[in-house]
Amino acid sequence: MEKPTTSNQIFIDPVCLMKVAPGKKNLVFTHQMRTYYFCAESCRKAFEANPDKYLESMSPKRKGWWGRYLERLNKATGGKPPKCCH
Ligand SMILES: [Zn+2]
């Protein structure tokens, strides 16, 4: 039985930081007693492989650092997006 009060909740995909509605039950990952929702299977797998990396990126304090890191990673990988799926 689903509770209707939770149906409008929006979660943030910690990998690509998209807003995700918790509708797809297969795109859920539980880490340290918390449940995270993802926009796609590839994001869920990326998080599963290295949860701490993405949890750090969700902290606003580190946003500037994270942006620079992604930029550097982008160059290092020859422009191939290090995140997500879209
Ligand atoms: Zn995603």
Task: List Cβ neighbours of 35 (8 Å cut-off, separation of 6 or more).
Answer: 28, 29
Measuring CA to CA, how many Å separate 65 from each of 12, 61, 82? 19, 8, 15
Alpha carbon of 82 to ligand 1 centroid (Å): 11
Model pTM greater than 0.75?
no
Alpha carbon of 36 to ligand 1 centroid (Å): 11
Alpha carbon of 71 to ligand 1 centroid (Å): 18
What is the tens place of the pLDDT at every residue in 29-39? 999 898 999 99
pLDDT of residue 26: 76
The token duo for 77 is: 């990988």
pLDDT of residue 68: 73
